């Protein structure tokens, strides 16, 4: 049962840093109810054990001139592990592809892409993605608007679960 090695203070630290990753350590310590030194030690441990992968500013893509966001559903011709890995490696090299998830079901991968405008994306779509080796089909959907974009994990759900069956 993962996440069980964390005590309530660790989970509170993760929840607070997920909500505000630039909080000072003393502020964080105050919120979780311990003093600064042990709080910092816990944060370092959480980082080293991979619970915290990093910290990122949440930059507004549209304000920066990335008007186009697209979800692309990709089907491959062959799905042996080597084929899957090869496609994933390609995706890591394409900067327009921000996320690449392998799925079950009829489609093999879903990609989230960001581009400055439609023509940039269509060039990428026709000359790179659809043209890539082993790609059988690509279906794209433009994002009209984004109603919710919460990073990370719903800690409320985790806490409800843990308080229910300890």
Bridge partners of residue 113, in order along the sequence? 70, 97
CA distances to 45, 97, 128, 130, 156 from 77, rounded to whole Å, are 43, 20, 16, 12, 41
Residue 40 binding target from DNA, a second copy, none, CB below 5 to 8 Å by type: DNA
The contacts of residue 153 (CB under 8 Å, 6+ apart) are: 18
Q: Applying CB under 7 A, does 34 fall inside the site for DNA?
A: yes
CB atoms < 10 A from the CB of 106, how many? 8
Q: Contact at 8 Å (CB) between 114 and 68? A: yes
Residue 58 binding target from a second copy, DNA, none, CB below 5 to 8 Å by type: a second copy
How far does CA 91 lie from the centroid of its chain? 15
Site for DNA in 13-32 (CB under 7 A): 24-27
* Alpha-carbon span 112 to 141, nearest angstrom: 10
Residue 98 binding target from a second copy, DNA, none, CB below 5 to 8 Å by type: a second copy
Q: Contact at 8 Å (CB) between 100 and 93? A: no
Site pattern 95..134 for DNA (x: CB under 7 A): ----------------------------------------
Residue 27 binding target from a second copy, DNA, none, CB below 5 to 8 Å by type: DNA
If the CB atoms of residues 54 and 105 are measured against DNA, the closer one turns out to be 54
If the CB atoms of residues 17 and 74 are measured against DNA, the closer one turns out to be 17
* Alpha-carbon span 25 to 36, nearest angstrom: 6
Number of residues that bind DNA (CB under 7 A): 13
Please, what is the minimum distance in Å from the beta carbon of residue 7 to DNA? Answer: 7
Residue 81 binding target from a second copy, DNA, none, CB below 5 to 8 Å by type: none
If the CB atoms of residues 148 and 166 are measured against a second copy, the closer one turns out to be 148
Site of interaction with DNA (CB under 7 A): 9, 24-27, 34-38, 40-42
């Amino acid at each position: 049962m993962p996440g069980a090695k964390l005590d309530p203070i660790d989970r509170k630290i993760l929840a607070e840093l997920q909500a505000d990753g630039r909080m000072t350590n003393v502020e964080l310590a105050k919120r979780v109810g311990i003093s600064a030194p042990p709080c910092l030690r816990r944060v370092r441990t959480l980082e080293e054990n991979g619970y915290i992968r990093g910290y990122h500013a949440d930059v507004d893509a549209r304000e920066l001139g990335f008007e186009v966001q697209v979800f692309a559903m990709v089907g491959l011709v062959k799905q042996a592990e080597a084929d899957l890995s090869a496609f994933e490696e390609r995706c890591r090299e394409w900067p327009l592809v921000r996320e690449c998830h392998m799925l079950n079901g009829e489609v093999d991968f879903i990609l989230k892409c960001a581009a400055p405008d439609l023509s940039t994306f269509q060039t990428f779509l026709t000359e790179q993605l659809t043209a890539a080796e082993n790609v059988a089909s690509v279906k794209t959907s433009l994002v009209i608007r984004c109603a919710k974009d919460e990073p990370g994990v719903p800690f409320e759900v985790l806490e409800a679960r843990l308080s229910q069956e300890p």
